Each structure stands twice: as structure tokens, then as C-alpha cells.
Amino acid sequence: MPTLAVYPGSFDPLTNGHVDIILRGARLFDRIIVAILVNSEKAPLFSTEERVEIARAVFCDQANVEVDTFAGLLVDYVARRRAQVIVRGLRAVSDFEFEFQMALMNQRLDAAIETVFMMPAEQYTYISSRLIKEVFSLGGRVHGLVPDMVEERLREKVAGLGAKN
Ligand code: PNS
């Protein structure tokens, strides 16, 4: 049976750390679904539609990477898609506690689903969507840390905010 994995997250925005994990997952599993959580934050920087558009554009050449959205319990979505695996990235020990809690809770909710942790390449271990937003909004360079399309969209957002003020 083909192994289908779900890589869930907020992806606000997609970083090169996420891209690295998705490409690793695409090599390991028959298919990987990038599942973007709808309404993860009250005020995300990028709308769900923008996040889907960006991820689809970045992975347009990867036949076994799919981009979708989900709401509600992750395990329900995974079961509905008939996937067997949840993929999560682990960057540092500080990620572990929360990820461990989530993995065990998901295991309790649906014992048929396995969580697989993957490490990104070393150069991405300090990147997070939150830091990217903070650094960019304060005028810092994020080139090489996010896909080019994300960098462009961040620039447009900041220009748009400037025009409104
Ligand atoms: O990118 P993030 O914010 O680290 O992703 C967190 C995410 C989306 C994986 C997590 O919040 C989640 O699974 N939310 C869906 C609701 C759910 O199932 N919660 C219980 C998790 S144990």
C-alpha cells in the first residue's frame, strides 16, 4: 500500500526549513500532503488562500507533493485522507517538548497514525515563521531563508501596510 504522509502547520509564511522537510518527506513517502491549518492564528500575516497559492507555486514541479487546507482535529483530517503518517520537523531540543506532547496526544486520539520527526538541514535549524516575520518587518534581510516568492510577498505586504498608514 502506498504510504501517504501529512505535514501539517500554519506556514505563515512557508520557510526554507519547511521546504527542506517537505522535500525530504517527498523522497521518503509515496505522497506528502502539506496541510495548512485554517484559522491557526487570529490575525495571520498571509491569508489561507495566499499560503496555499505560495506552497502550490513552490512545489509545482513535485508531482508527489500536494497542498491542502484543514480545520478541526488533525487526526480526523489524516484519517479522512487515508494517510498513515504525520510528519513534523524538529529543529532543536526546545521543539521537542511541545512536539512530544502533540505526538502522544495524536497517538491517543488515533493509534493507527504514526508521527515521524524529521530534521532539516543544519542551516535551517534556527529559522521559524515567527522570526522571519519579525526580522523582515524590522528591515532585516531574510534572503535565502524563505522561497523567493515569499520574500516578494513579504515586500508587497510591507509596502501595502506603508501605503495604508
Ligand atoms: O505550524 P504549527 O503552528 O507548529 O502547527 C501546529 C499544528 C497545526 C500542527 C497543530 O496546531 C494542530 O495539529 N492543530 C490542529 C488541531 C489539533 O488537532 N490539535 C490537537 C493537536 S495534539
pLDDT tens string for the chain (165 positions)? 999 999 999 999 999 999 999 999 999 999 999 999 997 667 899 999 999 999 999 999 999 999 999 999 999 999 999 999 999 999 999 899 999 999 999 999 999 999 999 999 999 999 999 999 999 999 999 999 999 999 999 999 888 766 554
Report the pLDDT value the prediction gives residue 64, as an integer from 0 to 100.
98
Report the pLDDT value the prediction gives residue 42, as an integer from 0 to 100.
74
C-alpha cell, 158: 510591507
Instruction: Single out the residue of 119, 107, 146 nearest to residue 28, CA to CA.
Output: 119
Q: Which residue among 6, 10, 18 has the greatest number of ligand 1 atoms within 8 angstroms of its CB, and so is best to mutate?
A: 10
Please tell me the pTM assigned to this model.
0.95
Q: Residue 145 to residues 33, 41, 148: CA-CA distances in angstroms?
A: 22, 22, 9
Q: What is the DSSP string of 36-97?
A: EETTSSSS-SS-HHHHHHHHHHHTTT-TTEEEEEE-S-HHHHHHHTT--EEEEE--SHHHHH
The two counts, helices (H) then strands (E), for the chain are: 6, 5
Distance 149 CA to ligand 1 centre (A): 25
Vertex 89, ends 88 and 93: CA angle to 5°? 115
Report the pLDDT value the prediction gives residue 80, as an integer from 0 to 100.
98
